[in-house]
Structure 1
C-alpha cells in the first residue's frame, strides 16, 4: 500500500476540533453541551451583510479578481485608514479566511527549513500552517503569571539564527486574550529592523479590546513598512465565521507580488462571501459598541466565576474572547474527554479546548484549558456551575 507523506503524518490535529466525535456521541445520547471550546460568536451577523446576499440579483456567479473585488479592497483601505493603518487597495489581497492569508504569508517569506519565532501559547493552527510550509516554529513561552505579556526582547534575540525569517504575533491573542501594548509592539518592531526580519501580525480580533485599552497595529509603526505583514478576517469582527473571507496586507511590494502568485494559483476568493463582507463594512459603530459591552460583561462573569472555583487560576484577558485557565488536574485532554463521555449534571455538560495544543513545546500547558466566552450570560453562568461540579467529581473518581 502506498504511504502518505511525512508532512501528512506530522500535520497536527486541531485541539479545538479533535474532540468533536466525543461531543457528537454525547449529543446522540441526549446530552446538552455548552460549547466553550470554539470561538464561534452567537452575536448576530450585521443585517447589512445578510441583506446584500438576500437582495442580490446576480445572474452569473463568476470568478472575482484573484486579489478580490477592487470595490471591496477600496472600502477596506478606507476602513483601515480610520484605524491609523495607512494602506491602499493595491497593498491588500483578499483571501479565503485569515487561514489562507497565513498560508500565503508563509509561502511568500519562507523556504523549507526556515524558522519563525512565535510567543506561546498561540493559535493552534500556526503549527499546521508551519508544517504545511516546511517551516520550523521556534516557540518563546509567555508567562501565565503575567497574563501572557510579551516575553523579554533579550529572550527573542537569543533565539534568532541565520534561518530566522519572521516573528509572528496574534494581537489580541488567541488563546490568551492578551492585548499587546504600544511599547511591546515597538520593541518587536525595533528588533525586526535590527535583524532584518518580517513581523507577521494576526489582528483578526482588533475590534475586541476592553477596559478602554487601544489596539495598536503593527502596520502603524513608522519605519516598519518593508517588514510588516498583517493578517485579518471578517470572521469574528462581524460574526461571519462561515464567510471565510480574510486578507493579507503589506506595504512591501515584493511580498504582495509573491502572495499574488499564490492567490492566482487558487483562482479567486468566494464571490458571495465577498459581497457580504464588502457590505459589512457599512455596519454602524453602534453595533460594535454593543458587542464590546456584551463581551466585557461575559468576560467579567467568566473570570469572576472561575476565580471562585477552588484550585482554578485564570489569566485575565484584555481582548479577543478567550482566556486560559489552569485547573487542579494533571491532564486537561483526559478531563475534556471525560466531561463528554462520563459526566453530566441534569443531563448537561461542557466542552473545553485542552491548551496543550496551543503550545509548540511538548508537555506544556497540560493542566490548562482555553475557554471561549461566546455564550450568553445565563449559559456562561450555568457552564461555570457545571465545571465546578465536574472538577469535584473528577478528582474524587
Structure 2
C-alpha cells in the first residue's frame, strides 16, 4: 500500500532535485540576501559554531532584534526551528478537548491539524469573495465566539489571499478574544511585506501570541528559523515542554542577526522588486479573458489568480506550468471550499521567472482547458 505521506515526500523530493525549477508556489524569497548575511553564515561555519547548542530560547541579540523589528517592547521571545514548530508548540500546549479553535477559510492548514490533534473543534469562518473583502469581518468573529472558544488563529496578512487588517480591526479582534478569555494567535509570517502591520500583542498582551518567521522575508525556508512572541508568563509555559529544548540552528541565528541589523539598507529593494513582479502579473492577467487578480496589490509576497470563470481548474493550470519547470500552487492546498476557484503565485523571485510566467500564460491556459486533468498535487 502506498502511503500518502510517502507520495508527498517523493513529490517534493522531485521538486528539490530539479535544479531548473522556478519556485513560484511556496512564498519563499529567492532574492540574494545582503552580503552581511552571507558573511555571518560563513563565519559561523568557519568558527565551528555548529558544534555547540544554541541557548534554549535563542541568542539574546536575535531575541532583542526581533522585538525591535516588530516594534514590541514588553514581550518575551522563544526562537524556534521555523514558524511551524512555533505553531505546533502553541497549538498543542494551549488547545484542549471540547474547546473550539476558530480560524478563517482560507487559512493555513497545519495549525488546524495541530489543534485537532489536541482534541479541539476547528471552526472556519469563510472570508473568500468580493462581498467579504477577502478578509475576516468583526461581525463574523463576534458571532462565532463564546465561552467555549479556546483559541483564535489569524494569519495576517492572510495566506493565501494577501489581505491585511487595519490597526482598528486588529484592536477589535483582540477585544473580542479578550471578552471570552481566548488565546489570540497572530501569525505574522508575511508582515514584512505589508504597507503597515499592527501586532495584536499591543492590545491584548495577556493571551496574544505572535508568530514570526524568517522563511519569507529573509528567504531562510531551508534554514528553519522562526519565533514565538508572547508574555513572559506564556513563554515560561511553552518553554516547560517544547518540541526542542536544545536551541535552534545557530548558523541561521547568526545570519538572522546580521539580516535584522542591515534590514533597513536592503529590504526596501526587495519590496520594490516584489511590487514590480506583482504589477507584471496583474497586468498580464488583466489582458487575458475571464481571469482576474482579485486582491491587488497584495500585502504579502504572492498573488491569487481566479481561474473559475475561464473554465480552467487550478490543478490543470498548475500541471501545465509544471511542464514548463514553473511551480505554482492550487487553491485546494489552502481550502476545500474555495480551492477550485484560484491558483497562488509567489513573487519574491527573479524577474525573469515572473516574465516567463507571464509570457507563457495564454499557452498554459490553452493547455489547461484542453486537458483539465492533473497529476496528484500536494
State the TM-score, normalized to the length of structure 2: 0.86
Give a deviation string over 1:151-183, Cα, whole Å, max 9, x none: 332322332244321211112222111111112
Per the alignment, residue 375 of structure 2 pairs with: none
Query: What residue number does 2:376 align with?
Result: none
Shift of 1:300: 1.0
Maintained 8 Å contact 1:179/1:317: no
Unaligned runs of 5+ in 2: 372-378
CA distance in 1, matches of 2:328, 2:69: 34
Matched, 1:67 2:57: yes
Structure 1, unpaired ranges of 5+: 2-7
How far the C-alpha of 1:69 sits from its partner, in A, is 2.0
Per the TM alignment, residue 229 of structure 1 is displaced from its structure 2 partner at its CA by: 0.7
Q: State the shift of 1:195 in Å.
A: 1.6
Aligned with 1:395 (options 356, 361, 369): 369
Query: Are 2:319 and 1:337 equivalent residues in the alignment?
Result: yes
Cα distance between partner residues in 2 of 1:101 and 1:60: 22
Q: Would the aligned equivalents of 2:127 and 2:133 in 1 still touch at CA under 8 Å?
A: yes
Structure 2 counterparts to residues 204-223 of structure 1, below 5 A: 204-209=189-194, 213-221=195-203
Distance 2:157 2:27 in 1: 14
Task: Tell me the equivalent position of 1:380.
Answer: 354
| Distance across 2 between alignment mates of 1:142 and 1:18 | 33
The aligned residue for residue 354 of structure 1 is 330
* Counterpart residue number, 2:374: none
Instruction: State the distance in 2 between where 1:101 and 1:135 align.
Output: 18
Q: Report what 1:303 is aligned to.
A: 282
Structure number having the greater helix percentage: 2
Deviation per residue, 1:33-62 (Å, 9 max, x gap): 543212121211222222122223237722
SS of the residue 1:336 aligns to: helix
TM-score, with structure 1 as normaliser: 0.82
Distance between the aligned counterparts of 1:325 and 1:386, measured in 2? 15
- Mapped partners of 2:37, 2:274: distance in 1: 21
Task: Give the CA deviation at 1:133.
Answer: 3.7
Alignment of 1:1-397 (within 5 A): 20=12, 33-56=21-44, 57-58=47-48, 61-80=51-70, 83=71, 85-88=72-75, 91-145=76-130, 148-209=133-194, 213-221=195-203, 224-251=204-231, 253=233, 255-263=234-242, 266-315=245-294, 316-327=296-307, 328-329=310-311, 331-340=313-322, 348-359=324-335, 362-397=336-371
Aligned to 2:152, the other structure's residue is in SS state strand
Could you tell me which residue of structure 2 aligns to residue 5 of structure 1?
none
Aligned length: 365
**Does the 8 Å CA contact 1:107/1:259 hold for their aligned counterparts?**
no
- The alpha-carbon deviation at position 148 of structure 1 amounts to 4.6
Query: Alpha-carbon deviation of 1:267?
Result: 2.7
Alpha-carbon RMSD = 2.9
